[in-house]
Chains A and B, each alone.
Chain A
Amino acid sequence: MIKSAIYVIATLIGLRTLAPEYSMMFVGLSILGACFLASKIYNLMLGWIILLGCAFSVTGILIENTILALPFGLDAKESLALADIAFWTFGVFGVVFILRALGNKHDVLSVFEVIFVTASVAYSFSVHRNKQIHQPRVLSDWAWSHGIDPEIILQVLGVVVVLCAGIVLLKTRRLAKIITTFATLLFLIILLINIGSQRLEPIVDTGGLGLTKQEQEESNKKKEQSGRNDGRGGKGGSSGGSGGGQSQKGRTGGGSGGASSGAKSSITVPVAIAILHDDYTPLYGIYYFRQNVFSRFDGNHLVADEIFDTDVITSFPVDTPIMAAPTLYSENFRTIPTSMFLLVDHPQPVALTSSIKISPLENPNPRHFVASYEVESLTLTTDYSRLSGRPSIPNEWTEEMKSHYLTIPNDPRYKTLAEEIVRDIDPRFRGDPMLSALKIKQYLEKKGFYTRSVKYEDPVDPTGVFLFGNMRGYCVHFAHAAVYLMRALGIAARVAVGYAVEDMGQGSTIMILSHQAHAWPEIHIANVGWVPLDIYPEQTDEPPPILVDQDLETLLGELARRDPTGGRAESPRRLEIPWEKIGWAVFAVIIGLFWLSYMIKFIRQLYGKLCKGKMAYKVVFRAVLDRLSDMGFVRYNGETRESFAMRMAETCPSLVPLTYMHLRCALGNRESVSPVVFRKLHREASKEIRQKIKLWRRIAGWINPIGWFFTR
Chain B
Amino acid sequence: MDKAKLINKLSSVAHVFRRIFDLFPIGPTGAIIAVVCFVGIFHYGRGKADYILYTAGIFGLGVLVIAMVFTIGGAIYVAVLTHKKTRQEIDTCVGVQVKTGYYFPSLTFLPFLSVTETWVRPKDVIVEAHETWRGFEERVTFSGRGKFDYVIRRFFVSDIFGLSSIGFYRVFPATIRVEPGLANIGFDISFRDVSREGYSHPHGEKVGDMVEMRHYAPGDPLKIILWKAFAKSQRLIVREAEKSIAPEQSTVACFVSGPNDEPSASTAKAFLMSGLMGADFTFLADGGECPVKTVNEAIEQIILSINFRDNGGECLFRILNKVGIDKMSRCVIFLPSGFGGWYKKLSTFVTMLPTPPTFVVSLDISLEELKPSIRFIFFGERKISKDLADFMETLQNLSKLDGDLKVIQVRTGLPLTPTEVESLKHWIAEKTI
Binding site for B on A (CB under 8 A): 44, 48, 107-108, 110-111, 114-115, 118, 121-122, 125-126, 128-131, 151, 154-155, 157-159, 161-162, 165-166, 169-172, 174, 176-178, 180-181, 183-185, 188-189, 191-192, 195-197, 200-203, 267, 269, 636, 638
Contact = CB atoms under 8 A, between A and B. Distances in A.
Given A176-B108, A201-B49, A166 B63 contact: yes
Given A108-B162, A128-B51, A636-B130, 16 more contacts: A48-B374, A107-B29, A108-B32, A110-B29, A118-B53, A129-B48, A130-B49, A151-B51, A154-B55, A157-B55, A158-B59, A159-B55, A161-B56, A191-B62, A195-B58, A203-B46
Nearest to B67: A181
Interface stretch (B109-117, B216-224, B347-355): B109-117
A206 to B, nearest CB: 15
Q: In terms of DSSP, what is the predominant structure of the interface of chain B?
A: helix
Contacts of A161: 52, 56
Contacts of A636: 130
B63 A162 contact: yes
B306 interface: no
26 contacts: A44-B374, A111-B36, A115-B36, A118-B36, A118-B40, A118-B56, A121-B52, A122-B53, A126-B50, A128-B50, A128-B51, A129-B48, A130-B48, A158-B51, A158-B53, A162-B56, A162-B59, A162-B63, A170-B160, A171-B160, A176-B108, A178-B160, A180-B109, A191-B62, A192-B58, A200-B51
Contacts of B374: 44, 48
A202 B47 contact: yes
Contacts of B28: 108
Interface in B316-335: none
Contacts of B45: 200
B60 interface: yes
Contacts of B128: 638
B52 A157 contact: yes
A188 B62 contact: yes
B44 interface: yes
A700 to B, nearest CB: 19
A203 B48 contact: yes
A129 B49 CA distance: 5
Contacts of A177: 108, 111, 113-114, 160
Contacts of A191: 62
A551 B53 CA distance: 25
Interface string B388-402: 000000000000000
Contact of A203 (B47, B59, B163): B47
Nearest to B53: A122
A176 B109 CA distance: 7
B191 interface: no
Contacts of A126: 50
A158 B55 contact: yes
B161 interface: yes
A44 B375 CA distance: 10
Given A111-B29, A170-B160, A203-B47, A196 B108 contact: no
Looking at B44, B58, B60, which has the most chain A CB atoms within 10 Å of its CB?
B58
Nearest to A162: B59
Interface string B61-91: 0110010000000000000000000000000
A169 B53 contact: no
Interface string B111-127: 11110000000000000
A129 B50 contact: yes
Contacts of B55: 154-155, 157-159, 162, 196-197
A108 B29 contact: yes
B47 A125 contact: no
B111 A267 contact: no
B33 A111 contact: yes
B54 interface: yes
Contacts of B110: 180
A170 B161 contact: yes
Nearest to B59: A162
B48 A107 contact: no
B111 to A, nearest CB: 4
Nearest to A184: B111
Contacts of B108: 174, 176-177
A124 to B, nearest CB: 9
A200 B162 contact: no
A485 to B, nearest CB: 39
A190 to B, nearest CB: 11
Contacts of B58: 158, 192, 195-196
Contacts of A185: 63
Contacts of B54: 155, 158, 196, 200
A171 B161 contact: yes
A177 B58 CA distance: 23
Contacts of A197: 55
A191 B66 CA distance: 12
A107 B66 CA distance: 20
A197 B109 CA distance: 31
A23 B28 CA distance: 37
Contacts of B44: 122, 129
Contacts of B161: 166, 169-171
Contact of B51 (A155, A267, A269): A155
Contacts of A638: 128
Contact of B32 (A111, A151, A178, A202): A111
A189 B55 CA distance: 10
Contacts of A121: 52
A125 B128 CA distance: 46
Contacts of A192: 58-59, 62
Contact of B160 (A115, A118, A181): A181
A675 B111 CA distance: 48
Nearest to B161: A169
A172 B60 contact: no
Given A162-B60, A184-B111, A171 B52 contact: no
Contacts of A202: 46-49
A157 B58 CA distance: 13
B160 A158 contact: no
A1 to B, nearest CB: 18
A390 to B, nearest CB: 48
Nearest to A125: B52
B111 A200 contact: no
Nearest to A118: B56
Nearest to B45: A200
A158 B111 contact: no
Contacts of B162: 107-108, 110, 169, 171
A158 B32 CA distance: 18
A114 B36 contact: yes
